[in-house]
Structure 1
Amino acid sequence: MGESRKYPRIDAFRLIAALFVIAIHTSPLRSYSPYGDFIVTRVLGRVAVPFFFMVSGFFLYNSKEIGTSKILNFIKKTTFLYVISILLYLPVNWYMGYFKGKMLAFRLLRDIVIDGTMYHLWYLPAAITGAAISFWCLRLLGLRKALIVTGLLYLLGLLGDSYYGLIENIPGLGSFYMGLFHIMDYTRNGFFMAPLFFLLGAVIRKYRKTAEKISIWMLLCGILLMTLEATILRDIGVMRHDSMYISLPLVMFFLFLLLLKKEGREFKSFRTISMAVYIIHPLVIIAVRGISKPLKLTEYTVNNSLIHFLVVAAGSFLAGIVYYLAANKLTKERGRTHVVYENNK
């Protein structure tokens, strides 16, 4: 029989993770403290996407038998969501001149498969690729060896991300990454970043009783370590990007275990709302900027970074709630229609 445990903290943290994603794209403290904004968006905010990867891994790899059908179903659903998201942002791509310029076919292929056709959509192809790589590593190698392989992939990604400045001038290694960046914009993608976090979800599923031994102080020490790491890397000027840190997997391990400590009712609505917020929030950013200009509110709702963040967050969550209610109503109506049809057969 399937497992019936529910994890309300996991569902609740989905909303917090969605808020972090909005913060990354709006920089809420920029007007007040650049370093404070760096901590919120480039350190704390970097738990958001790995969290979503780990949630997927935690629920995908929840049995000793790793079934192909379960992974294929996940990939199918994520691909469908990705296609809808691509279509949703086509007008924005068109307005921004995305379809002009040279090598359009190559850029389209690269962005659809790796980078995403909008700056936030990289998560969806990364989830698809990360699920596939982690699945085959787990199936062919077993959990321990799969962790080593995905850990090495993460290390390769790390050197092309926040540690890039340390290796870019090393003969051979620097040219390897220069070639890599002709294929992809960043290394925080489904090939280097996502597989490890999918498998960390599987590890925690297997050893979740460890959650009882984890304290908040372990997480706080991990966050302090990541803050120190990020600050040093920023100050010495070696970061090409800031999505991957050595201490990030450790922070995610402690965070996820803490979220498992309390069992209770589930909040399915939070799952739908958080994903809707993730997909929709750039449109809300565009709408806030577009509406603010004719109303002469730009000084307050755009230039003031904190107010801008709050307005975008409120608009995004409102849109997410409306989407959830509409989708829920449609599902219920389809269910009633099906029952009536079956009864009239």
Structure 2
Amino acid sequence: MSKQYDSIDLMKFIFCLCIIGIHTNISNIFPKALQLLIGRGFFRLAVPFFFVCSGFWIGKKYLKQPAELDIIIQKYIFRLLIPLIIFENINNLLEIIKQLLRQTPKLTICHDILKHILFYPYGALWYVQASIIAIIIIYPFLKKGRIQIILIISIFLYAFALLCNNYYFLIENSYLQIIVDSYMQLFISARNGIFVGTCFLILGIYVGVHIESPKLYQYTKPLLFISTILYFFELLLVNQHVPLDDGALFISHLFIAPLLLIILTKSSLHLKHAKYLRNLSTGMYFLHRILIAVIDILSFVTRKILPVTALFFIVILMSILICTYSYTLKNRFFNQLLR
């Protein structure tokens, strides 16, 4: 009988709430010190954790059936590609409506939509696109058993992403700044499958492949504690500077996300509705930006803006209701779309 990882499902659901918190600006209700620790600290661990979890399941399957790697990768890509296409089109449509209401020139709208489709999808779907791109990059290395090589390469790629984000201050007034500025102007963000997804996905795969090794669990708790303390100081450091992009990328994430995952794999927690929480974490991720966009459009039309607390809880409640209803549908396609 395969082991159930209920603690991972619970953590994914909690981090999904964090993602909704980021996009509804819920941390703004807290004092500034807590905004830093919660909004820019804890909430920002969500996406790295999602990446390493995805990699973990790929690594576990690869460990059990290495000869089936092609099928494992194909299923993973297909599983992500369908919701990416569907929800990206919905988010694009809503973005067009928002921009038209703001009387943005149509040529500008078309240009922005095209750039986001290619490089940074609306609706927080960059993570989904990044996962697909990352696994395509990782696949040939995994096929040849070269996990360490792609891991090292991905760390250098992530270093570039850091310079395009929280560590932009390190290259200000240098030739590298010109390169980064040019890149960001063309590609919108370094938060994509090449510079971010590859690194965290391969970390998760590494954990999954070595899940049965006792060495994997040595010193994980003290290492996580030390990494968390260093994360606190990293937050204080980068908070003194203006980031490029959204200020979401940290060095500490490289350690905290996989270490937290490793610890959770040893948890004996059993939840009656763990599968439901797992499904919700996926469905709510796909839905929340759509709901926020719809509420934004209604707020623009009615000239009434919801308080962030109300927005946060309304989006969560509506997401849960829509997901729960979709799970009861007899149509297999719609039943599976939000899980």
- Flag whether TM exceeds 0.5 (same fold): yes
Asked whether the equivalents of residues 15 and 46 of structure 2 are also in contact (C-alpha less than 8 Å), the reply is yes
- What's the counterpart of residue 231 of structure 1? 236
Separation of aligned partners in 2, 1:283 and 1:238 = 27
- What's the counterpart of residue 25 of structure 2? 27
- What's the counterpart of residue 195 of structure 1? 198
SS class of match (1:192): helix
Are the structure 2 counterparts of residues 244 and 330 from structure 1 closer, same or farther at C-alpha, using a change threshold of 3 Å?
A: same
Alignment of 1:156-305 (within 5 A): 156-171=160-175, 173-208=176-211, 209-210=214-215, 212-214=217-219, 216=221, 218-262=223-267, 267-288=274-295, 298=305, 302-303=306-307, 305=308
- What's the counterpart of residue 9 of structure 1? 7
Matched length: 324
**Alpha-carbon shift at residue 211 of structure 1 (Å):** 5.9
Asked whether the equivalents of residues 233 and 239 of structure 1 are also in contact (C-alpha less than 8 Å), the reply is no
Indicate the structure (1 or 2) with the bigger Cα radius of gyration: 1
**Alpha-carbon shift at residue 222 of structure 1 (Å):** 2.0
- What's the counterpart of residue 61 of structure 1? 59
1:126 paired to 2:130: yes
How large is the Cα RMSD of the aligned pairs? 3.0
Asked whether the equivalents of residues 28 and 37 of structure 1 are also in contact (C-alpha less than 8 Å), the reply is no
SS class of match (1:60): helix
Asked whether the equivalents of residues 165 and 248 of structure 2 are also in contact (C-alpha less than 8 Å), the reply is yes
Q: Give the letter aligned to residue 81 of structure 1.
A: P
**Alpha-carbon shift at residue 24 of structure 1 (Å):** 0.7
Identify which of 139, 143, 151 aligns with 1:135.
139
- What's the counterpart of residue 94 of structure 1? 96
- What's the counterpart of residue 110 of structure 1? 115
| Residues 254-275 of structure 1: per-residue CA shift (max 9 Å, x gap) | 1101110125678333232111
Q: Percent identity?
A: 23
Asked whether the equivalents of residues 214 and 257 of structure 1 are also in contact (C-alpha less than 8 Å), the reply is no
1:149 paired to 2:137: no
**Alpha-carbon shift at residue 229 of structure 1 (Å):** 0.5
| Residues 107-166 of structure 1: per-residue CA shift (max 9 Å, x gap) | 4443223200x1412111111111111223333571111110111111111111110122
Identify which of 293, 315, 319 aligns with 1:316.
319
Asked whether the equivalents of residues 27 and 39 of structure 2 are also in contact (C-alpha less than 8 Å), the reply is no
SS class of match (1:46): helix
Q: Give the letter aligned to residue 253 of structure 2.
A: L
Q: Give the letter aligned to residue 78 of structure 2.
A: K
**Alpha-carbon shift at residue 306 of structure 1 (Å):** 3.3
SS class of match (1:120): coil
Separation of aligned partners in 2, 1:237 and 1:25 = 20
Separation of aligned partners in 1, 2:41 and 2:242 = 16
Separation of aligned partners in 2, 1:51 and 1:128 = 16
Asked whether the equivalents of residues 168 and 177 of structure 1 are also in contact (C-alpha less than 8 Å), the reply is no
Identify which of 29, 35, 39 aligns with 1:41.
39
Q: Give the letter aligned to residue 158 of structure 2.
A: Y
| Residues 260-294 of structure 1: per-residue CA shift (max 9 Å, x gap) | 01256783332321111011112332455567799
- What's the counterpart of residue 82 of structure 1? 84
| Residues 66-103 of structure 1: per-residue CA shift (max 9 Å, x gap) | 61222122112211110110232243122123795447
The answer to which of 315-324 and 226-235 deviates more is 315-324
1:73 paired to 2:80: no
TM-score, scaled relative to structure 2: 0.84
Separation of aligned partners in 2, 1:241 and 1:320 = 29
- What's the counterpart of residue 49 of structure 2? 51
Separation of aligned partners in 1, 2:332 and 2:243 = 50
Q: Give the letter aligned to residue 129 of structure 2.
A: P
Unaligned runs of 5+ in 2: none
SS class of match (1:169): coil
Unaligned runs of 5+ in 1: 335-345
